Structures are given as structure tokens and as C-alpha cells.
Amino acid sequence: MADQPADKKFFENLSGAGKAIGVLTSGGDAQGMNAAVRAVVRMGIYVEAKVYFIYEGYQGMVDGGDNIVEVSWESVSSILQVGGTVIGSARCKEFRTREGRLKAAFNLIQRGITNLCVIGGDGSLTGANLFREEWSGLLEELAQSGKIEEEAVKKYVYLNIVGMVGSIDNDFCGTDMTIGTDSALHRIIEVVDAIMTTAQSHQRTFVLEVMGRHCGYLALVSALACGADWVFIPEYPPEEGWEEQMCVKLSENRARKKRLNIIIVAEGAIDSHNKPITSEKVKDLVVQQLGFDTRVTILGHVQRGGTPSAFDRILASRMGVEAVLALLEATPDTPACVVSLSGNQAVRLPLMECVQMTQEVQKAMDERKFCEAVKLRGRSFENNLNTYKLLSHRRPDAELPKTNFNVAVLNVGAPAAGMNAAVRSAVRVGITEGHNMFAVIDGFEGFARGQIKEISWGDVGGWTGQGGSLLGTKRTLPAKYLEKIADQMRTNNINALMVIGGFEAYLGLLELSAAREKYDEFCVPMVMVPATVSNNVPGSDFSIGADTALNTITDTCDRIKQSASGTKRRVFIIETMGGYCGYLANMGGLAAGADAAYVFEEKFDIRELQANVEHLTEKMKTSIQRGLVLRNENSNENYTTDFIYQLYSEEGKGVFDCRKNVLGHMQQGGAPSPFDRNFGTKISAKAVQWISKKLKETYRKEEGKVFANTQDSVCLLGMRRRNLLFQPVVDLKDQADFVHRIPKEQWWLKLRPLMKILAKYKTSYDVSDSGQLEHVARHSPKEAETGAI
């Protein structure tokens, strides 16, 4: 192990020896709960604590006996890709009584468990907090009745509790995403995509009812991700007279040759008088008023089912490890906390602050203070709502401002799923802002050839769900076409440029920025939105398309693991894309439960390969007789996929056999994931609003033209930790490795040890970023502008 830097905090000095951790899932199930359970068990065992499953939630804790069982490393093998929860969940009336909690405390003391990790919704977590507050009183009562010794009261005097929120509704304040939400969106979007084809054939209207009794997150984000015509959510009821407005909108869309209408209704949708709006009511209204052929589809429990998405597996694995660290660091004075996600950061928040705020949302809705309810839901929810309103309702031409600015949009680099959602969003926001929007076909090459056309609101209808790049995209850089591109900018009077693409797009903007000295035509605001499966753009933690590629890799790995578990004693070596960037290999490894992932950013040699082979040989002696190894395509020029395959085959002779798979271009294809649709839509809308602001600032009235020549007029819009930031492309030069086309520093490298720990390697894990208990932020309107996703 390398020497550890003095200013970093590592968990090696956090020992769990002598501690016992109980893990339970409670309330409604959610995909990803198993990944969280797996991470808690393995991290607990890794730090030498004893870990216990508590089956059937609080009911199992009250009943005791075989419901509380010590588990081993192998107990959680093969559960990462399974939906629901393997340790069961049940609602428990008995735990709500003091007698029930007394039984639960007795059962925990019998096994020395004083650390609980609870995975569930706000009800489950509130129950856990009450249990913690009563703990010492419960123990004294048990001692008085002679059930436990006085010694035990002193020894087990404190109960530590850490919560993780598992809920598909994403209805818990303080966390951007709860475990299961992303997978539920996957289920909804799969259904919507399937329904769209049949609706189109018959010119039908579909009313889709999705889950969300008190929270409209699923309905809102799925409406955003599929471009629904109308959405009903509990936090933002429609205005008086909505019935007529909706019917006008639906018939206008039909008049524009749109062959289908999609209306999404959250099961808890209400009108402004708190009266329910049901899917049947909406259907009857459309049939009576418009006579459209209308069908209702209630998705129901389909949304809870199926395998967890890559995002949920990674989120739950990160949260599970963080939960164990939080338990190890807990003191009697630490309040019960929830580990959650804010932007890209794992954070710890006081449990009761989050619960209180979640209850405040319901209170605001009951009192019909709907604007307040939306605010309390947090920045992410508010941004979703504002973006949906911006994109779904086209204002009449007479109401639109007229700027007479021409804004061009183009795709550059390799295709990435979600590019089309970004283009649709840019075009519609641009039109709403009063600009004339132009689409450039086939990147800079098409630009030079004059393949530019004006694009209207209706032209981009139905684009969100389509993969690839409908505008066409090329890797060609602008340098050799500068004069021709300048001509086209002049001919078409282009006043601003929006480029959606990967590293080539970044290089392209650098070249155009440098060419400003020679060509005045390039003195216009330019912005880049990162879109590449490789996720290798400097200045942004995420790129459009990377999540879809990650899900493709994870799905493929699941299938391959299944084939390996049938044949036994087999190791698969899988090559992923990404150029020199190891993001896909590393995160794919974490999501698929790989034994190793070789990446360019972390050098490896023959000794490490040898250690991996020995590790797999040991693994074959256990009940888990299969292995999975991922390799980024350019991780090492000599240790190729073939070389690693041959080495493993030779060294593993007689113990295991090997197979290899190169995933190739399937990683660039497919329909975009909900995350990529949503991310592409929101980041693009923000980029166009920045363009509008810059155009106003740089318009020279006396000359009648736009002239932008400062560095901050050529920016990249990226997601950094918790915020979306505009960064001048020139400033990002120092952060980029141009030879290997990757950022010099990458956040996900901090998660490398996580994958190794969960695969049973001894490693060093920097926990400097975790451990600070934060408070739940109540955000101001100013904060909403800086905008988390």
C-alpha cells in the first residue's frame, strides 16, 4: 500500500472489531435495496464488525429467533442485480407500541447489536429514531423485569442509527435521489416508449397513471423525459379552467399533425381545491370534449419491479459503505443521520430534520400553499417543473418576444444517447426566448458545406426518446474549414452557437475561439454542452450519454454472469469503450459487481495481474464460482484484452476457464435512459438561457450586430459536484490532458477503492469527503438559478 498523504483521512483507523451491525429493509420495497444491503454487509465484515440480517423489517426485530441471523461475505453474493429486497420487508403494527419495541430491544441485546442500518421510507426512519431515543429506558425496564443483566445495560447503553432512503417516489427531503427512483423511471419510460408506437398507429390519446400518492416526482420527470402533453402532480395542481386549456392544447397538437397524445397522472394528483384528479376522470373529459380515441394505462407495481438500474446500484453501494462509516464514527451525541446524495456528493444529514421537512411539504399541500410545497421539495424538483413548463406549452406567436437573433445548434463527435433530447430542448427554449433557431447537419463538416436549415417547434416533437443523433454528427474539427464556416456564419447571420458533443466539441470551440483574431464572424457567444459515452470532457462530472452506456454495460454483465453461474468456475473478461477514460469500466465494474476493472488512469503491472488471478483462484474455492473482469479499451497498450485473457487462461488452468467479450458500439446505441433525457433537457435549456443573456450583453446597437470577444463568451456548461457551472473553455485547458483526451482530475477515481473493497481486496479508502454532518438546506430563489440538476 502506498504511503498515505498526511492531510487525507483514511478509514483504516476506524475498526469495527467488537461491534455488531444489524441491517433491515422496511416499508415499501425499492430496486437497489439489495445493493445497499450487500454494501453494508461487505463493508461491515471488511472493518471486522459482525453483521446481522434482520429479516422482515421491524416485524423480524420484534419476533427475534431465526429472523436475526449473522451473515458472511458469501451471503450477499448474486443479489446486486436482483430487484426488491432479499431480506424481506413488512409493515409492523407491534413496533409502534412500547411493548413491541421492548421485545425488539431484548432481541438485539441478545446478539450484542447496538448499530442499526435502516433502509426504508420516512415512516421507517422515524420509527428508528424513536427506538433510539427510548433505548436506555427500554434496557432499564428489561433489567428491572430480570430479562437482562445490569451489566448489559452498561455495556450496550447507546444505540446508533443510520438511515438510507429506499423509496421509488423520491419523496424524502434532503436527498436528490432516493434508492429505487431511477429504476422506477426506467420502468415507466420503457412502458411509455412501447405505448407511443401503438398510439401513433391508431392516433390515440393515452392517459398513464404512475405511482406517487404524495409526491409527483415520477410523473414530472417521466413527463419531461417523454415530452408528455400534460402532467398532473399533487404539488402543483392545474389552474382553474384547466379542463378547457388541456383540451385546446391536445387539439392544437393534433392539428399540427401529431398522431398521439400522452397525459401523465400521478396517483395522488389533485386540483386547486384538493379534490382528486383521477386517470378515469381525465379520460372521460378527453372523450366527451374532443371525441378522441382514449385509453388508460395504470402502471401500478410494475414500477417497483425489475432489476435496479446502474445508477441505483452505484448510489446504493456508495450509500451502504457511507452508512457503515457513519456508524463507526457515531458518538452518543451524534444525532441519528441519513446518508444521501446531493449533486454528486455523498452527504450525511440529521434524520429528523429531513423527516420534519418532508412532513412540511404535506402540510403545505393540505393548506393549499402549493408554491411553498414545490420549494420545500428542493432545487432539483423545482428545476424539473420549470423546465417542463418551458418546453411543453408553446405560447402563441403574438405573445413571444422577437429578438431577431439567429442561434445555430450542432452535434459534434460520436453519437451519444440523449443528444436529441438536448437539441429539442435547445430549439424550444430558443423559440420561447424569441430567437430564430437553426440546425446544422453533420457537425462542422456540414457547417462548412452550408447544411444549415431553420428548425421549428414542431420539427423536434418526439425527439426525446430517440437514440443516436438525428442531426447527424462527425468527429471533424473546424480548423481546416475555418474560412468556409465563417462564410456560412455570415451568410446565415448566425449570432450564437451551441455545440453538443464530446472532447472534439471542446477542441472545436477552442479552435473557433482562437480564430476570432482573424474572423469577426466567430465573435459571438458560443456554448458547449458535454455529450459523450466516454464521460471524458474537462469541466463536467457527467456527460449526456454516459448513463445509457453504463446501463448497457451493466445489463450485458448481468447476462454474462448468469451464463457463468450456470457453467461454474468461469471468468469473463469484458472490454468497454471510453478511449483512455476509465469511467465506463470503473462504474460498470461497481454496478455489475466485478472482481477487477483495469483503467488507464490507475497504472497496473504484471504483479497486479498476478494478484488478481490468485484472488480469483481463492474465490473459486468458495461457493461463488465465477469471476468478472472489466478492461477499458486503452487501459494499457501492451496488456491488451487478448493478453489478459491468455494470461488468466494459462494461470487459471485446472481452476477456472476464461471467456472474453468486446462490447463495442452497442454502448453508443439504444434509447436514452431517463437520466440522460432529463440531464440533456435541463442542461440544454440552461445553456440557451445563457446565450440569450450574452446576446443582450454583447449586442452593439449602433452597429446593429453582436460582438463578443471576451473569454467568458465561449463557455462549457458542466456539472461540478452539486452545481451547473459555465466555465470559459480557455480556463479549462490546464485541466485537460490533450494527448489522452481526458480531464487531469476525475471524481470517480475516488470510488475505485469502493469496488475493490466490495470484491474483497484490502485497500486504502480516502474518506476525507465524508463524515461531516450537514444541515438540510432551505434554498433561496438565488440558489435555484445556480441550479443543481
Compute CA distances 691 → 405, 407, 772, whole Å: 10, 9, 38
CB 450 within 8 A of CB 491: yes
Q: In 433-537, which residue ranges form alpha helices assigned H by DSSP?
A: 443-448, 482-491, 503-514
Q: Which three cell numbers stand for residue 723?
A: 452545481
Q: Which three cell numbers stand for residue 28?
A: 415499501
Q: In one letter, which amino acid is 477?
A: L
CB 80 within 8 A of CB 39: no
Sign of the dihedral through C-alpha 185, 190, 194, 197: positive
Sign of the dihedral through C-alpha 439, 441, 444, 446: negative
Count each helix (H run) and each strand (E run) in the chain, helices first: 24, 27
Could you give phi then psi for residue 544, rounded to 5 degrees? -60, 135
Residue 262: strand pairing partners: 206
Specify the DSSP element, H or E, that contains 210. strand 205-210
Nearest one of 712, 722, 309 to 542, comparing CA atoms: 722
Give Cα 69 distance to the centre of its chain: 33
Instruction: Determine how β-strand 699-700 pairs with β-strand 705-706.
Output: antiparallel
Could you give phi then psi for residue 498, rounded to 5 degrees? -120, 120
Nearest one of 135, 108, 145, 262 to 192, comparing CA atoms: 262
Q: Which three cell numbers stand for residue 302?
A: 410494475
Task: State the virtual CA torsion across 48, 52, 57, 59 in degrees, nearest 10.
Answer: -140
Residue 719: strand pairing partners: 724
Active site residue 169: yes
Instruction: Determine how β-strand 160-165 pairs with β-strand 115-120.
Output: parallel
Nearest one of 423, 418, 476, 415 to 666, comparing CA atoms: 415
What is the C-alpha to C-alpha distance for residues 680 and 529, in angstroms, rounded to an integer? 8
User: DSSP E strands: which ranges in 633-713?
Assistant: 657-662, 699-700, 705-706
Identify the residue whose cell numbers are 390515440: 204
- Whole-angstrom distance between the N-terminal and C-terminal Cα of the chain? 37
300: left (phi over 0), alpha (psi -120 to 50) or beta: left
Helix, strand, or coil (residue 261): strand
The rounded radius of gyration (Å) of the Cα atoms in the chain is: 27
Question: DSSP assignment of 194-207, as one string?
Answer: HHHHHHHHHT-EEE
Catalytic, out of 29, 169, 171, 541:
169
What is the C-alpha to C-alpha distance for residues 719 and 788, in angstroms, rounded to an integer? 8
What is the C-alpha to C-alpha distance for residues 678 and 684, in angstroms, rounded to an integer? 10
For residue 297, how many C-alpha atoms fall within 13 Å in the half-sphere facing its CB? Answer: 18
Active site residues: 169
